C-alpha cells in the first residue's frame, strides 16, 4: 500500500508540473520550471553526470538538460524504457528493437550515460564536419532533434 501511495504522489506531482508548464509557462520559462521539478531526482545522478561530462569533454548542463527533457530525470521511465519501448535510459538513447544502439549498462548507470553522451558527441561532430561554418550553437541543434 505504501508503494502505491508514493506512485500516486509522483503521478500527481508530475501532472501538476506538466500542467503548470504547458498552460502557464511557455518556451524557455517552461523548460526552467520543468528542470526545477526534476532537480531533486537529478541530484541523484550528479556525480555520474560530472564524471561522464569530464571524460567526454561535454558541459554537464547539456547532459542534465537532455536527461530532464527526455526522461524527467527518470520519473517517466518504465524499467528504464520510454517512448513506448523505443528508447532506453535517462537520456533516452534510441534502441527501437535494439536496431539502433544496443543499450550498455543499467538505465541509470554511468556506463549508459556515457554511451548516450558518446552518441550525442558523435552527431555533434558529424554536424560540425558537414557545416563547419555554422556557429557552435547550431552544431548542437541537429543531434537534439
Known catalytic membership, residue 57: no
Confidence (pLDDT) at 47: 96
**How far apart are alpha carbons 114 and 78 in whole angstroms?**
20
Q: Are 118 and 111 in contact (CB under 8 A)?
A: no
Mean model confidence pLDDT for the chain = 83
Handedness of CA 90, 43, 50, 111 (dihedral sign): negative
**How far apart are alpha carbons 109 and 122 in whole angstroms?**
20
pLDDT value at 44 more than 70: yes
Which residue among 51, 83, 111, 118 is the active-site one? 83
Known catalytic membership, residue 70: yes
pTM for the predicted model, two decimal places: 0.76
What is the number of other CB atoms lying within 10 angstroms of the CB of residue 30? 17
Question: Radius of gyration over alpha carbons of the chain, in Å?
Answer: 16
Which residue among 44, 59, 70, 137 is the active-site one? 70
HSE at residue 123, side-chain half, CA atoms within 13 A, is 13
Confidence (pLDDT) at 110: 97
**pLDDT category of residue 91 using cuts at 50, 70 and 90:** very high
Q: Is the model more confident about 136 or about 113?
A: 113
Any idea which architecture 38-144 has in CATH?
Orthogonal Bundle (1.10)
- Identify the CA nearest to 83 among candidates 69, 66, 65, 70: 70
Amino acid at each position: 500500500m505504501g508503494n502505491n501511495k508514493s506512485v500516486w504522489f509522483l503521478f500527481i506531482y508530475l501532472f501538476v508540473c506538466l500542467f503548470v508548464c504547458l498552460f502557464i509557462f511557455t518556451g524557455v520559462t517552461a523548460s526552467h520550471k520543468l528542470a526545477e521539478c526534476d532537480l531533486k531526482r537529478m541530484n541523484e545522478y550528479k556525480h555520474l553526470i560530472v564524471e561522464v561530462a569530464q571524460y567526454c569533454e561535454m558541459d554537464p548542463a547539456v547532459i542534465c538538460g537532455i536527461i530532464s527533457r527526455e526522461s524527467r530525470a527518470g520519473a517517466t521511465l518504465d524499467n528504464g524504457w520510454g517512448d513506448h519501448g523505443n528508447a532506453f535510459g535517462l537520456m533516452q538513447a534510441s534502441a527501437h528493437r535494439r536496431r539502433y544502439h544496443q543499450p550498455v549498462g543499467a538505465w541509470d548507470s554511468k556506463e549508459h550515460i556515457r554511451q548516450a553522451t558518446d552518441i550525442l558527441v558523435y552527431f555533434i561532430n558529424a554536424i560540425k564536419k558537414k557545416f563547419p561554418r555554422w556557429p557552435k550553437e547550431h552544431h548542437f541543434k541537429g543531434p537534439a532533434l
